[in-house]
A and B are shown apart, each in its own frame.
Chain A
Amino acid sequence: MTSRQKRFAFIGLGLVVLGVATVLVLNAFNKNLVFFFTPTMVANGEAPKGQSFRIGGMVEDGSLKRENDGLTVHFVVTDTAKSVPVTYKGILPDLFKEGKGAVAQGQLAADGTFVASEVLAKHDENYMPPEAAEAMAKAKKAKASGAQSSNTLVIQTQ
């Protein structure tokens, strides 16, 4: 091979590898996007059935119930406008609390219950997961009532 041919062979090989990588990446990427929905969107039927997604909002006060096995829990996530009942089996994160923000990932069951495979409530007492904060901000905007409560939001700056 002349050096010119070699260079082309190289470039060709590189492009093939990159092409394969791109196909793999984009394919996997598309399959693994997890979308986020607010309780209002779920109530309006915008959320997909039989597919995993995230919901976020505030855990409604007094909604946390534990089954006798000590592991299965039921609670309600709300954005103050609409709410969604959630079921989760497992140990909840440390910062999960009624009246605080939480994000859950899972699927919608036929009866309208959200079956969570993962519950996120992260990092800091005063910190609201941004998804949860936004869900509630949206609901508040939609209500457009003047009565604003200041304790629902938001990230407290340090």
Chain B
Amino acid sequence: MIPEIGHFALILALCVALVQGILPIYGAAVGNSALMAVAKPAARTQFLLVLTAFGCLAYAFADKDFSVLYVAATSNSQLPLHYRLAAIWGAHEGSLLLWTFILTIWMFAVTLFSTHLPDTMRSRILGVMGLVSVGFLLFMLSVSNPFERLIPAAPEGRDLNPLLQDPGMVIHPPMLYMGYVGFSVAFAFALAALLGGNLDAAWARWSRPWTTVAWCFLTVGIAMGSGWAYYELGWGGWWFWDPVENASFMPWLAGTALVHSLAVTDKRGGFKVWTVLLAIMAFSLSLLGTFLVRSGVLTSVHAFATDPKRGMFILAFLAVVIGGSLLLYAWRAPRVGLGGSFSVLSREGLLLANNVLLVAAMGSVLLGTLYPLFLDALDLGKISVGPPYFDSVFVPLMTPALFLIGVGPLAQWKQAALPDLAKRLRWAFGVSVATAVALPFALGTWTPLLSLGLLLAVWIFSTAVVGVRERVGHVAGDGYVARLAGVPRSYWGMLLAHCGIAVFIVGVTMVKGFETEQDVRMNVGETATIGGYTFRFDGVQDVMGPNYTAARGTFHIIKDGRETAVMYPEKRRYTAQNQVMTEAAIDTGFLRDLYVSLGEPLDDGAWSVRLYHKPFIDWIWGGCLLMALGGVVAVSDRRYRPAWRREPQAVPAGARLASRQIA
């Protein structure tokens, strides 16, 4: 009964989405405010309906209702409750439902925070989002219904893939989808602007916080996916240039470009047409990413059942969304106008360079990801594109972009002078070069990439310091602290995000430069030493988990004669599918991770064991979190606050503080 309610709610949601997609857009075109007024209640109704459907599916999982095909396929009666709930997005159908659910959440948020938008704008935005939702609901109801019954019911579920039974997996997909789907707001803003034919600085100011928030979610989502791969796959890598990872990285690159180009549109009214194109690109790549990963085109832990009908639907849907929006773009973009002129050396010019580099990088990832699929589809042979391709393309493309991070924020809008910039940046440059030369010496190894990485990281940090000093000099106020507080939050946000990149670079550089890895055979009581740490293997014991049995090894870690940690890596056997899984043990530290994973049992209680020493690896994810935090800080800037929240500024400081806390 409950699954039928969910199914029915989805059908109703489709009807509402159709109304929401057609009437308000038509109303905006003919100036009928009654039709436009439909958008808001329709969006909220749709949210409630999809929420109901989502709740029904969650109930079916919690209730172990194996008469629902999807539940039987992805869960098991022994699976703990939190993983049963996470199994909602453990495969194709449920992921789509999650996607749609998140889309309606964003829609609901738009209805809440758009009171200051003109009616036509708001109804067009919600209308476009409604149309996207139509596509997804139609897809679910026609070829991938999560509520499909299995009659007779299965006595036992097939279980969730053990690799996915992990806390990271509980949060990673929703985060990632919040990012993907968040770009639909920017996309809807862009299409609304094209439909309306006007795109001014106010438009950019409205869409900026939405885009930034989506970008933050995507950043965190990707970082969590990478972290999951690191500790769950048991071979200590954090990024494999796997097509699945690339699928999430491409929208991130386009989204990053979009965040920067929106800044120009907001502040200077420039880059209008380009910004719209980027918004379309970011969302199209999000769709492509969702489908590539979930459709079974790519084979990985993310891919599930392959069904040709689904493939056709996906292709058609992508063609309609991407083709349709690009057509609209070709037709209406000339009306939008180009925006003001600027010189090559100016903040606009530097941001344009950043955009070109990011888009070029995105294109190269796209090539490496899609080309093997094309060849395969045309039956021209099977190939794969190795990680060295991406490495050798990314370093030269990203180096200038990273260098520009230091220059861009200090350059004037419209026209900057090279001698002036050089003068302001000279000591930052000096410090960076000195560090890049001296530090590898002190560490005892030198490679070109090590120096380059350090150079860029220190460059970003030191130019950030220069930027803050200059900013504080310009802000009015008595005392250094008061003036620091006067620097707008959007500026701090930007700096924080840029420093996040620097932290990330330090992590990548140090891991690549200094990590040590060893596969060894270890008898009980034997020791092995890497990176100054001695690992003593004290044998394995059998332990029981809720739905698995495991052999748990004990390793004592000794450094400088003192025991620093005890680690317990496991080899688990999940009973439902009789599948073996390596559960690595990781000792996390600020400056290094120690990583142990069990290979196979050999004779006499000996095991083959994989040991890693990974300096600075947590900086990689720390950097990503800093980037996302920077985005959050930037969005909290008062310039983005809707008018009704900004009003209390006129009243005394106490009230202002209160309103800040609310925001």
Contact = CB atoms under 8 A, between A and B. Distances in A.
Nearest to B343: A6
A91 B600 contact: yes
Interface stretch (B118-126, B391-399, B555-563): B391-399
Interface string B57-91: 00000000000000001100000000000000001
Interface stretch (B30-38, B379-387, B504-512): B379-387
Contacts of A92: 599-600
Nearest to A156: B305
B344 A13 contact: yes
Contact of B389 (A10, A17, A28, A89): A28
A70 B521 contact: yes
A109 interface: no
B306 A125 contact: no
Contacts of A124: 161, 577, 579
Main secondary structure of the interface of A (DSSP, over half): mixed
Contacts of A131: 382
Interface stretch (B40-48, B356-364, B481-489, B527-535): B356-364
Given A28-B392, A94-B581, A35 B521 contact: no
A98 interface: no
Nearest to B598: A91
Contacts of B388: 28, 31-32
Given A91-B519, A125-B578, A130-B299, A70 B602 contact: yes
Interface in B600-655: 600, 602, 606, 608, 610
A151 interface: no
A119 to B, nearest CB: 11
A150 interface: no
Interface in B338-385: 341, 343-344, 349, 352-353, 356-357, 360, 363-364, 367-368, 371, 381-385
Kindly state the interface size class of chain A when it binds its partner.
Answer: 35 or more
B304 interface: yes
Contact of B582 (A70, A94, A129): A94
Contacts of B234: 94
Contact of B393 (A25, A35, A69, A90): A25
Contact of A6 (B306, B341, B577): B341
B301 interface: yes
Nearest to B580: A94
A118 to B, nearest CB: 10
A79 B600 CA distance: 26
B304 A158 contact: yes
Contact of A90 (B344, B519, B606): B519
A36 B384 contact: yes
Contacts of A54: 382, 384
Interface in A5-49: 6, 9-10, 13-14, 17-18, 21, 24-25, 28-29, 31-36
B300 interface: yes
Interface in A56-85: 66, 69-71
Interface string A86-101: 0001111011000000
Contacts, number: 122
Contacts of B363: 21, 25
A89 B599 CA distance: 12
Given A91-B599, A91-B610, A130-B299, A35 B383 contact: yes
A89 B608 CA distance: 11
Contact of A134 (B74, B304, B382, B385): B382
Interface in A109-127: 122-125
B382 A66 contact: no
A33 B383 contact: yes
- Max chain A CB contacts within 10 Å: which of B161, B582, B597, B600? B600
- Max chain A CB contacts within 10 Å: which of B306, B393, B397? B393
A125 B307 CA distance: 20
B360 A17 contact: yes
B5 to A, nearest CB: 24
A69 B306 contact: no
Contacts of A148: none
Contacts of B385: 29, 32-34
A10 B357 contact: no
B229 interface: no
B205 interface: no
B268 interface: no
Interface in B290-347: 299-301, 304-307, 341, 343-344
B577 A125 contact: yes
Contact of A158 (B158, B299, B608): B158
A32 B579 contact: no
Given A18-B356, A95-B580, A32 B608 contact: no
A3 interface: yes
A130 B296 CA distance: 11
Nearest to B299: A130
Given A34-B383, A123-B161, A155-B306, 14 more contacts: A9-B344, A24-B397, A25-B360, A25-B367, A29-B389, A35-B383, A54-B384, A70-B606, A89-B519, A92-B599, A95-B580, A123-B300, A125-B577, A125-B578
15 contacts: A1-B343, A6-B343, A21-B357, A24-B392, A25-B367, A29-B368, A31-B389, A32-B386, A69-B521, A71-B521, A90-B519, A91-B519, A95-B580, A129-B299, A157-B306
Interface of B: 73-74, 91, 158, 161, 163, 234, 299-301, 304-307, 341, 343-344, 349, 352-353, 356-357, 360, 363-364, 367-368, 371, 381-386, 388-389, 392-393, 396-397, 519-521, 577-582, 597, 599-600, 602, 606, 608, 610
Interface of A: 1, 3, 6, 9-10, 13-14, 17-18, 21, 24-25, 28-29, 31-36, 54, 66, 69-71, 89-92, 94-95, 122-125, 129-131, 134, 155, 157-158
